[in-house]
Chain A
Amino acid sequence: MGPERGKEPAGPSRESCTDPYLRCAFHGAALTALGVSGSALLAHSPQGCEYLVNNAFAAQECDYMETMTVCTKLCVDEIVHGGEEILARTIREVKGLPISALFVVSACGPEIVGDDIVAVCESLQPEVKFRLVPIASPGFKGSQYDGIDIALDTIVKRLVAEGGKKVPGSVCLVAPHANANPTWPADLAWVKQTLSRMGIPVVATLTHRTPLSEIEHAASAETTLVLSHDAGQKAADSLAAAFGMEQVCKGIPLPIGMTNTQRWLAALGERFDARKPADEMVSEGERMVTATCRRKWPMSRFLYRTPAAIVADATVGIPLVRFVTEEMEMTPELVALYSSARPVRELLERELGSLGLTPKVVYGTDVYRTRQSLREVMPRVVFGSTIERHASEGIPVTYVVEVVRMMRQFRMINREYFGYTGILNLFECVQNEWTMAWRSKEKRYRAKW
């Protein structure tokens, strides 16, 4: 185990100059709105912000045959004289779309000049057949996680209907999209499959391919289950306050790795009186993972107590700490998380304490702080993104295992990190990197043929 390293001051960096990992609140709001199926998104913004919407579109796996995004393409005139008129005109242009809701998401420009998107939406509502849902989420409001929370707040307040009959033993899933696994819908699918096996009905998912009708009935759920450590907690709190929905698995790391999965399933089994199926899933899953490893031989077993770094969001990063330490038997000596919220700090510190680890911890990291930390700690393995692959140039890092925000590797099939197959998927990431690291950088001779 490495020496005790000072933790950096809690909270985001106070530096004036950062090289951020996280996008802005506008992006987070768009990402959330695009999770509502049968809807469209209108970016009230200059045309560049439409590219952030496109990115969110891809992250929510929208289909351009089904979901349309449009933009008011604000120019100097609208910044000087206001853009409400052009917003109204654009809403009228799309009023023939066969959708149930149009999310109007405003960016920095119109929010600073004071465009009242709520008033525009209210005045045009009688003219259109779909719901107009204004979300004021300019980039300067914070990170993409703040944007997710802003959009979820709007959705809860404007779209969730009151007075519905509760569905016994049911859940509402919150913020599955606040997850840096680039194929996070597989994590969501695993959760749904698991809940189904335990007989726990899912009333609504906020948000991924969620019809408006499902959102309207979200308050029928007895409980909420937040699927992110980075966002969604505020929505869970609002749902609790407004509709008495109890949050389950609160304060437990998400189910990545054997111990985390076992703990998470046990908590669900306990709450929903489904201990038997939970126990069965644990024993089946552990047997399957162990047997598969026996047949496939994960090379990560050779990395016993190799110093490792984890650079990720809290959703993947915090559960990885235990997985890397226990199942993979490496030693995390650096944990750098994109988030810095208090619950994130508390959860990580509990995990580190319980494992007896004292790595260097960086909250709200940026690319510069990550590189500096890698230089200081000199881990041999980094679990992170493509950025760390390049940011570790010149540092003797042997393996960069790309598990979040990958750009080099491509997945046509979504792969979960949650649950038991998730363990194998993570082993596979290590395995592929292990092979690459062995490959000679130079060809020493040419073949004759």
Chain B
Amino acid sequence: MENGSIEFHGNLRQLLSKVESGEMIPKLQASHAPMCKFFTAYYVISGIRHVVPLVHGPTGCPLYMSDFVRTRECCEIRGIPLEPTACTTLDESNVIYGGEGKLLEAVKEAYAKYHPDLIVILSCCCSGIIGDDVESIAREAEKLVGCRVLALRSEGFGGDFRSGYEDAFKLIMDLMDPPKTTMKGTINILGARWGPSPTEFNWDLDEIERLLREIGIKVNAVIAGGCTVEQIRHAREVELNASWCYDWGQKLGDLMQERFGIPYSRTGQPYGPSATKEWLLGVAAPLGMQENAEEVIEREMREVEPDLAYLNEALSGKTAIIEISEFPGPIRALSLARMAEEFGAHPVVINVHPYTIKERMPSIKYILETGVNPEIILTKGLFRLGSFRSSKETEDELEAIVREYDNPIFFGNSGRFPPCPVVNLTFMNPAFQPHYGFRGIKNLAALVRQGLENKDLPRSRLFKGMLYGTGTR
């Protein structure tokens, strides 16, 4: 490809190798700040019902999360009752003299005020640096209140955003009681969070649960997507763990397998017919429910036959340009690349940032093991100073790249203006959700149809000017 704006052009395996060797690590300190460890830990913990996340720090850290995760995403959007987000409001004096005494009092107060089923102390930068021993306080406090008290070292500087998720999932294992029985035909779904991360929405989970119900499989808990402490306590009584997103469930699934011997179904995201079948059989077969699953799959496949035929016809022979910088998450984009290939398209994934490869290494390796190794292009704009979202540079580069492929179709969102049909996969439009499973096939077919049938309609000068400046055409 003759294009001076290309920083990397190869396949996923080659990109992974460059990231592993340190060759593709972003050099600009100032650019691209994903969430910190504290935020991601909060996401997970807030997915347990009747929990008090007790933030041992000043008010800025908890309030950002309580405004956006709790009030907006949980209460306003998902209809969840207002749950507390407690804070010790560390001040200068606490920073100098330590905040352990205040924390102990705060746990007692939190219990008296909110009557929770669980209190999780989350440390942040302040309490981490001054060395407050949150674990010891949690142990001490647990003797004084009527619920479990756990502590998580989640200082913002203490790890990448992924470590917050993983450490929180790991902590949740401490709540799991030794099994007293085995719940036949029952699984846990791992790796969920209530938070507003654009990688997960209820519709996908609803589709998975619908299909599991059809097969006759029960779900003990969605950890941590609105599960109760009681469900977590019984989590070891299931026959199998599965994940709605391999990436997020993988750590907890592996740990539960290693520590408790509970098998974990390793499957990718159920995008398209093959991945959906694999997902369902990956869960049903170990439970001895393969036949039921096959019946359900056959019935569901019949339902989506017209959509499958359309997708085959529409995508065959096309180049599916899949952009990640504007798409909700690299793992979903790679799942989509697999689906595009299944329908006869050649997938080209654009601008999967090396930091996301670095932080999702086990999942990327798993995806490669399953035979998914799409063509990847990273452009120079991705590495420019500032946020890469909606940047003029990456928009111009995308438009140039698309011109170099035959018969292109763009999978991303409507914030891009490439000279080809655009399939709008944004999660900001609930009209075409879920994307997972068989209902997802219907929705994806509808989105592809919209993109192709309306490709000659004029695009919005207004929105393009808003995103990239009025100098753009």
With A140-B92, A390-B71 in contact, is A27–B60 under 8 Å at CB?
yes
Chain A residues 379-394 with CB under 8 Å of chain B are 386-387, 390-391, 393
Interface pair A18/B89, CB less than 8 Å apart: yes
Interface pair B84/A113, CB less than 8 Å apart: no
- Which of B98-106, B316-324, B336-344 forms part of the interface with chain A? B98-106
Residues of A within 8 A of B157 (CB): 46, 74-76, 78-79, 109
Is B362 engaged at the interface, CB distance under 8 Å to the other chain? Answer: no
Interface pair B90/A140, CB less than 8 Å apart: yes
Interface pair A73/B88, CB less than 8 Å apart: no
| Residue in contact with A109 in the complex, picked from B62, B129, B386, CB distance below 8 Å | B129
Residues of B within 8 A of A112 (CB): 95, 125-126, 129-130
Interface pair B126/A108, CB less than 8 Å apart: yes
- Looking across the interface, which residue of chain B has its beta carbon closest to that of A107? B125
Interface pair B82/A17, CB less than 8 Å apart: no
Chain B 146-174 interface 0/1 with A at a Cβ cutoff of 8 Å (1 = within): 00000000011111010000000000000
Q: How far is the CB of A435 from chain B (nearest CB, A)?
A: 19
Is A367 engaged at the interface, CB distance under 8 Å to the other chain? Answer: yes
Is B3 engaged at the interface, CB distance under 8 Å to the other chain? Answer: no
Is A55 engaged at the interface, CB distance under 8 Å to the other chain? Answer: yes
Interface pair A17/B106, CB less than 8 Å apart: yes
Is B364 engaged at the interface, CB distance under 8 Å to the other chain? Answer: no
Task: Give complex CA distance A15, B88 in Å.
Answer: 9
- Looking across the interface, which residue of chain A has its beta carbon closest to that of B54? A17
With A71-B30, A93-B28 in contact, is A367–B60 under 8 Å at CB?
no
Is A90 engaged at the interface, CB distance under 8 Å to the other chain? Answer: yes
With A16-B109, A74-B157, A109-B156 in contact, is A47–B36 under 8 Å at CB?
yes
Chain A 21-64 interface 0/1 with B at a Cβ cutoff of 8 Å (1 = within): 11111110000000000000010011111111001000000001
Interface pair B60/A24, CB less than 8 Å apart: yes
| Residue in contact with A48 in the complex, picked from B39, B54, B71, CB distance below 8 Å | B39
Interface centre among A45, A405, A407 (most CB of B within 10 A): A407
Interface pair B82/A391, CB less than 8 Å apart: yes
| Residue in contact with A89 in the complex, picked from B29, B129, B159, CB distance below 8 Å | B29
Interface centre among A16, A45, A65, A75 (most CB of B within 10 A): A16
Residues of B within 8 A of A391 (CB): 82
Residues of B within 8 A of A89 (CB): 29
Is A139 engaged at the interface, CB distance under 8 Å to the other chain? Answer: yes
Chain A residues 359-397 with CB under 8 Å of chain B are 367-368, 386-387, 390-391, 393
Is A86 engaged at the interface, CB distance under 8 Å to the other chain? Answer: yes
Is B372 engaged at the interface, CB distance under 8 Å to the other chain? Answer: no
Q: How far is the CB of A391 from chain B (nearest CB, A)?
A: 6
Is A20 engaged at the interface, CB distance under 8 Å to the other chain? Answer: yes
Interface pair A368/B84, CB less than 8 Å apart: yes
Q: How far is the CB of A245 from chain B (nearest CB, A)?
A: 30
With A19-B66, A20-B59, A140-B95 in contact, is A407–B89 under 8 Å at CB?
no
Interface centre among A50, A107, A139 (most CB of B within 10 A): A139
Interface pair B92/A94, CB less than 8 Å apart: no
Chain A 218-256 interface 0/1 with B at a Cβ cutoff of 8 Å (1 = within): 000000000000000000000000000000000000000
Interface pair B86/A18, CB less than 8 Å apart: yes
Interface pair A47/B62, CB less than 8 Å apart: no
Chain A 384-422 interface 0/1 with B at a Cβ cutoff of 8 Å (1 = within): 001100110100000000000101100000000000000
Interface pair A94/B385, CB less than 8 Å apart: yes
With A18-B89, A140-B58, A390-B81 in contact, is A113–B386 under 8 Å at CB?
no
| Residue in contact with B126 in the complex, picked from A20, A70, A140, CB distance below 8 Å | A140
Residues of B within 8 A of A261 (CB): none
Chain B residues 118-138 with CB under 8 Å of chain A are 124-126, 129-130
- Looking across the interface, which residue of chain B has its beta carbon closest to that of A75? B157
Task: Give complex CA distance A86, B155 in Å.
Answer: 19
- Looking across the interface, which residue of chain B has its beta carbon closest to that of A79? B157
Is B192 engaged at the interface, CB distance under 8 Å to the other chain? Answer: no
Is B463 engaged at the interface, CB distance under 8 Å to the other chain? Answer: no
Is A72 engaged at the interface, CB distance under 8 Å to the other chain? Answer: yes
Task: Give complex CA distance A27, B126 in Å.
Answer: 15
Residues of B within 8 A of A405 (CB): 67
Is A285 engaged at the interface, CB distance under 8 Å to the other chain? Answer: no
Task: Give complex CA distance A78, B29 in Å.
Answer: 13
- Looking across the interface, which residue of chain A has its beta carbon closest to that of B62? A20
With A72-B29, A108-B126, A391-B82 in contact, is A386–B75 under 8 Å at CB?
yes
Task: Give complex CA distance A301, B75 in Å.
Answer: 31
Is A358 engaged at the interface, CB distance under 8 Å to the other chain? Answer: no
Chain A residues 309-367 with CB under 8 Å of chain B are 367
- Looking across the interface, which residue of chain A has its beta carbon closest to that of B94? A140
Is B22 engaged at the interface, CB distance under 8 Å to the other chain? Answer: no
Interface pair A390/B35, CB less than 8 Å apart: no
Q: How far is the CB of B251 from chain A (nearest CB, A)?
A: 20
Residues of B within 8 A of A113 (CB): 129
Residues of A within 8 A of B39 (CB): 48, 51
Is A179 engaged at the interface, CB distance under 8 Å to the other chain? Answer: no
Residues of B within 8 A of A131 (CB): none
With A17-B110, A65-B469 in contact, is A390–B75 under 8 Å at CB?
yes
Interface pair A139/B130, CB less than 8 Å apart: no
Residues of A within 8 A of B34 (CB): 47
Interface pair B71/A407, CB less than 8 Å apart: yes
Chain A residues 85-133 with CB under 8 Å of chain B are 86, 89-90, 93-94, 107-109, 112-113
Residues of A within 8 A of B159 (CB): 76
With A73-B29, A408-B76 in contact, is A23–B59 under 8 Å at CB?
yes
Is A167 engaged at the interface, CB distance under 8 Å to the other chain? Answer: no
18 A-B pairs whose Cβ atoms sit less than 8 Å apart in the complex: A15-B109, A16-B105, A16-B106, A17-B110, A18-B87, A24-B61, A24-B63, A25-B60, A46-B125, A51-B36, A71-B30, A74-B157, A75-B157, A141-B92, A368-B84, A368-B114, A386-B76, A405-B67
Q: What are the 7 closest A-B residue pairs judged by CB atoms, nearest first?
A: A48-B36, A24-B60, A139-B58, A70-B30, A390-B82, A46-B156, A17-B106
- Beyond A20-B89, A49-B36, A138-B58, list 10 extra A-B contacts (CB 8 Å): A45-B156, A50-B33, A52-B64, A65-B469, A112-B95, A139-B59, A140-B95, A367-B82, A386-B71, A405-B67
